[in-house]
Structure 1
Amino acid sequence: MTTTLLLLPADAAAESIAVRADAQGQVQSVGHATAPPEPSARALLVVPGVDVHLRWLRLPGRSMAQSRAAARLQLAEHLAIETQALHVVIAGSAEADGTRLVAAVDSVVMQQWLARATQLGFAPDAVVPDCLLLEPGADATAAVMHWDGRWLIRGAQLACSLEPEAARLLLGDRVPAVPPGPDPTHSIAGFARSAAHVPIDLLQHPFANKAAAEQKRAPRRLAVLAALVLLSPVLLLLAQTLRYEIGARVLQARTATQLGVHDAAAVPAALQARRQAGTATDRLAMQLSTLFAAVDTLPAAELDQLDYNPAQPLRATLLHTDDASLQQLSARLADAGWHLDPGSSQVEDGRMRTPFTLEPLR
């Protein structure tokens, strides 16, 4: 399978480079991308890693929407920017320690990259930051490569693109004895070798390739239709109820294990003790865990939005079917030591949409 890589420089006025690689990751051709590339089995857009925030985070939540919301809240504590303007993507697989690679880039910058690719007649199947096309160094060492006037650094839970001086400060005594040279040939060969397996793809969610997304959704639609034909409404309701009950018990057991208690009934007291003594990050993680667990026990209810500011109560929006669901959620959170203050509900597409704030009981 051949792969065409379009390497975008950080300077939009500079020429992009088109690289064609074979199935073994060997470079077949390199040239300036002044015309639409030749057709290949796969098209990979390589973007400047200097504009992408890359972190490995522990993310609560059982769904991708919940994990992305939790990632935004954690990123807000590290980045001095409005996280709602960020395009956030989470790697499909977790690391050995349970963390996941999270990539965040300004949505406007992402749009500009795709527009530059379109102008060159390039339709990418995936988008990846350049620093992630570098194999991590062995043991505690960091791999370093020179590209586009910067040093690309890749190590254990570390990936970034920095000016050489900043890179030296970050690496400290791990700076290579022989600094990477500016010759792009070595870097391009490294990109080609790693192109077959990218750790994360930025072309997701609002920027997802529509054709690929539709192809993935088609089998799911067929499976759902078959299930609706074969199963009666009563069986579907029973299956959903059982799923939420099992999910709630699993979450309770995990929470009890994390808090060091042996009985799920002791979780509220342990959470209260942790809440009083923990840091702001610990309190946020416990608050999210409690909220996600409570929502997961309500049939046909889900969180649509989360907004966190350390100086204010946690704000969220609940999609639900009736007032009883909101009352049940409020009662469950109150049992766990949290007060839910709902706002005005609106009906959208047959479901109720209710904003609310969540803070400790007084």
Structure 2
Amino acid sequence: MSEYLVIILNETGAEVTEAGLVNKAGAWLEAVPAHAVASTTADQVVAVLTGAGVSLWRETLPALPSAKLQKILPGLMEDRLAGPASAMHFALMGTSADGSQLVAAVDRSVMDNAAATLAALGHAAARLVPDFMLLSESEGAQVLKGPDGLCRVRLPDGTGFTAEESLTESMLESASEVVVSPESWHATLARAAATPITLKQGRYAGRADMVTALLWFRRAGLIALAGLILWAVTVSFETTRLNREADAAYTEAEALFRASFPDVRRVANMRAQARQEVMKLRQLSGGEFLKLSTLLFEQSNTLEGVLLEGLRFDNARGELAATLSFASFADGETFKNGLSASGVMVTEGGSRQEGARVVTDLTLRSAS
């Protein structure tokens, strides 16, 4: 069995354009016919994506772990994009000596297509590499024209692109030096076996046989979104703005009440029941709940965009557990620092990205 099977996909990720076997030394052995790709076995499968739809920039990013950077990249790179960042997948493609990083962006539909195409062939690729990233970096722009007529270009700063020959010539007019890559097309593709570079990061990392499930959830999400829009339109015609705000406020208050006092099964008079439960907590815990919740609400008022999603008080531990959402990870850090400065011991249970918001679980406890 050969060491590597390299599969080349077109720019949409929906079609296999070529495939070949590469040995352990990184040498191209032989081409694999399209009809034989599914039945070909290898120690590892690597996919190469035609990079016409991949954009690459060199950026100076915050000093954060890669996992956190993945979550905030859509917001950081939004100004670079012509369309919405929510439709794009971002990947970190390497760090230079000065600390700057290469950031790649590709449409999520391309990533989904690539995964579906490989799954249909019975393969799960360990890496998905943009083809132009297989060229070597040098003092001049490296150019390699493939059999499809497209030119792969690697620029001195590490960035690159794949484009038609006429467009490539126009884009390289200002380049100080242009060098035709000395390697052959297949020798360049063979480098995919050894490179650690991959677009399979974040939600696509380690993804194998989940394509069907993902597509199902996408359809379900679209149906749910359509239902939500229909509901919103219906409500806007049936109620006045003031009544909508009042209903929303009551619903939010009831949800917060149930989250704060889960032992209360039936809500009849929320104000009276809340007063009663607070008095119980005050008697049992010496006002610890009121103290912590007051500090929490005071800190919420100092920072715009903070939403309280849930609240629960553990009387036995004297701890207040809160779930909040912020506009960014930085706002979350500012919020925690403000609580700590107020003399509250804050423990973070975890943070996660939900749409455009960052949801964080915090546990508050008095320092004394």
TM-score bracket relative to the smaller structure: 0.5 to 0.7
Alignment RMSD (CA, Å): 3.4
Superposition pairs of residues 1-362 of structure 1, within 5 angstroms: 2-10=3-11, 16-35=17-36, 36-91=38-93, 93-136=94-137, 138-139=138-139, 141-147=140-146, 148-155=148-155, 156-174=157-175, 186-198=184-196, 200-209=197-206, 291=331, 293-294=333-334, 298-300=346-348, 302-305=350-353, 316-322=357-363
Q: CA deviation at 1:95?
A: 1.0
Q: CA deviation at 1:27?
A: 1.0
Contact 1:301 1:318 in 2 (8 A): no
Equivalent-residue separation in structure 1 for 2:365 and 2:90 (angstroms): 33
Corresponding residue pairs, total: 237
Equivalent-residue separation in structure 2 for 1:126 and 1:163 (angstroms): 25
In structure 1, the gaps of 5 or more residues are 213-286, 308-314, 326-362
Larger C-alpha radius of gyration, 1 or 2? 2
Contact 1:8 1:17 in 2 (8 A): yes
Contact 1:168 1:175 in 2 (8 A): no
Equivalent-residue separation in structure 1 for 2:26 and 2:205 (angstroms): 25
Q: CA deviation at 1:15?
A: 5.2
Equivalent-residue separation in structure 2 for 1:295 and 1:195 (angstroms): 46
In the superposition, relative to structure 1, how do residues 28 and 303 fare at CA in structure 2: closer, same or farther (>3 Å)?
same
Give CA-to-partner distance per residue, 1:92-125, whole Å, 9 cap, x none: x521111112222221221111212222333211
Equivalent-residue separation in structure 1 for 2:14 and 2:89 (angstroms): 24
Contact 2:14 2:110 in 1 (8 A): no
In the superposition, relative to structure 1, how do residues 176 and 94 fare at CA in structure 2: closer, same or farther (>3 Å)?
closer
**What SS class does the counterpart of residue 199 from structure 2 fall into?**
coil
Contact 1:55 1:103 in 2 (8 A): yes
Contact 1:54 1:103 in 2 (8 A): yes
Contact 1:8 1:45 in 2 (8 A): yes
Q: CA deviation at 1:146?
A: 0.8
Give CA-to-partner distance per residue, 1:311-349, whole Å, 9 cap, x none: xxxx74331235789xxxxxxxxxxxxxxxxxxxxxxxx
Contact 1:53 1:103 in 2 (8 A): yes
Contact 1:151 1:162 in 2 (8 A): yes
Equivalent-residue separation in structure 2 for 1:211 and 1:114 (angstroms): 7
Q: CA deviation at 1:289?
A: 8.7
In the superposition, relative to structure 1, how do residues 8 and 304 fare at CA in structure 2: closer, same or farther (>3 Å)?
same
Q: CA deviation at 1:170?
A: 1.4
Contact 2:124 2:208 in 1 (8 A): no
**Partner AA of 2:142 in structure 1:** A
**What SS class does the counterpart of residue 166 from structure 2 fall into?**
helix
In structure 2, the gaps of 5 or more residues are 210-326, 338-345
In the superposition, relative to structure 1, how do residues 175 and 144 fare at CA in structure 2: closer, same or farther (>3 Å)?
farther
Equivalent-residue separation in structure 1 for 2:95 and 2:194 (angstroms): 19
Equivalent-residue separation in structure 2 for 1:135 and 1:43 (angstroms): 22
Give CA-to-partner distance per residue, 1:223-252, whole Å, 9 cap, x none: xxxxxxxxxxxxxxxxxxxxxxxxxxxxxx
Equivalent-residue separation in structure 1 for 2:15 and 2:359 (angstroms): 46
In the superposition, relative to structure 1, how do residues 292 and 153 fare at CA in structure 2: closer, same or farther (>3 Å)?
farther
**What SS class does the counterpart of residue 89 from structure 2 fall into?**
strand
**What SS class does the counterpart of residue 160 from structure 1 fall into?**
strand
Q: % of aligned pairs identical?
A: 24
**What SS class does the counterpart of residue 122 from structure 1 fall into?**
coil
TM-score with structure 2 length normalisation? 0.56
Contact 1:33 1:120 in 2 (8 A): no
